[in-house]
Amino acid sequence: MVLAILPIALGAGLTILHVRGERLLNVQTASMVPVFRPGDAIVTQSVQASHLRTGDIIAYRSLADPDMTITHRLIGREPDGRLVTAGDALHDTDRPFPARLIIGRATAVAPRLGRVLDLLCQPPGLVIFVYLPAAGIIAAELVRLRRSGRPAYLVHWRYATKG
C-alpha cells in the first residue's frame, strides 16, 4: 500500500509546486556544499532579475549547455546587467550570464529527495514505484469485481435523470 501511495503523493506534490510557479531540481554536484549536497533536491521559485539580491542562491540555464541547470550563489552584477555567480565550495566565479537564463531563486532544500527522483527516472525505479503499485491496484479491483459477482470486463454506467 505504501508503494502505491508514494508515487501519488510525489505526483501531487510536484503538481502543487508547478501550480505555485515552483520547480524541484535535483542536485548533482558538490559545488554548493555545505548548503546542499549531491542527492538533495531544491525548490526554486520563479523570480524577476530585478528582485534578486547578492547572496541569493539562483538556478539558471548554462550558457554552454541549455539543457544543464546550474544552481549557485549570486555574487554580483556586471555593468551591462549580466549576473555573476559562484558555487560556495568552488574557488572561481562562473562566467557572467544574461538574466534571461534565470530559472528561479532557491527557497528550500529537501535532503536526499534527489536520490528518490533519480531512482524514479530509471527503469527499475519506475517498475518498483509506479508500475507494480499500479498493477496491484488493478489486480485488487479485479478481485473486488469478481467477488461482487459481476464480470470484470463489464462496466455499468448509471445516468441520473431529473424527474
| Measured distance CA(68)–CA(54) in Å, rounded | 23
Task: Report whether the peptide linkage leading into residue 151 is cis, meaning its omega lies within 30 degrees of zero.
Answer: no
**Domain range 22-113, its CATH number among 2.10.109.10, 1.25.40.10, 3.40.190.100, 3.40.50.880:** 2.10.109.10
pLDDT tens column, 20-30: 889 999 999 99
Q: Please measure the distance between the N-terminal and C-terminal CA atoms of the chain and give it in whole angstroms.
A: 42
**Alpha-helical regions (H) of the chain:** 2-19, 113-120, 123-126, 132-147
- Domain coordinates of the chain in residue numbers? 22-113, 122-147
Q: Mean pLDDT, 10 residues at a time, over the chain (163 residues)?
A: 65 80 93 97 95 98 95 97 97 96 96 87 84 87 79 53 50
- Report pLDDT for 6: 66
pLDDT, mean over the chain: 87
- Per-residue exposure over 23-34, b if at least 16 CB sit within 10 Å of its own CB, e if not: bbbbbeeebbee
Q: Are 31 and 73 a contacting pair, CB within 8 Å?
A: no
Which residue reads 538556478 in cell numbers?
Answer: 59
Q: Are 75 and 31 a contacting pair, CB within 8 Å?
A: no
Q: Tell me which residue of 60, 56, 90 sits closest to 74, measured CA to CA.
A: 56
The rounded Cα 83 to chain-centroid distance in angstroms is 25
- Report pLDDT for 160: 47
- pTM assigned to the model: 0.73
Q: Coil, helix or strand for 80?
A: coil
Give percent above pLDDT 90 in the chain: 56
